[in-house]
Amino acid sequence: MLRLASALIASATLLFGLNGCTATGAVAGGVAGHELTHGSTAGTIGGAVAGGIIGHELGK
């Protein structure tokens, strides 16, 4: 879990200049999805996608 969170945070840091809200939402959603689905890959990806969409919409 720690490695996943670290990788997601590092990715978000790199993307922050492009659209920080989207990247931050994707990281938060990915971590939440990972935790809620007990490490399911589909849950992690789904959470990241949902979080990215929400972050993008909130950042407009």
What does 1-60 look like in DSSP terms, one character per residue?
Answer: -HHHHHHHHHHHHHHHHHHHHHHHHHHHHHHHHHHHTTT-HHHHHHHHHHHHHHHHHHT-
Mean pLDDT of the chain: 79
Q: What is the pLDDT of residue 9?
A: 67
Q: What is the pLDDT of residue 46?
A: 92
> CA distances (Å), 19 to each of 14, 26, 38, 44, 59, in order?
10, 11, 29, 20, 8
**6-29: pLDDT as tens digits:** 666 666 655 555 557 888 888 889
Instruction: Record the tokens describing residue 15, joined without a space.
Output: 């993307």
**pTM score > 0.85 for this model?**
no
Q: What percent of the chain has pLDDT over 90?
A: 12
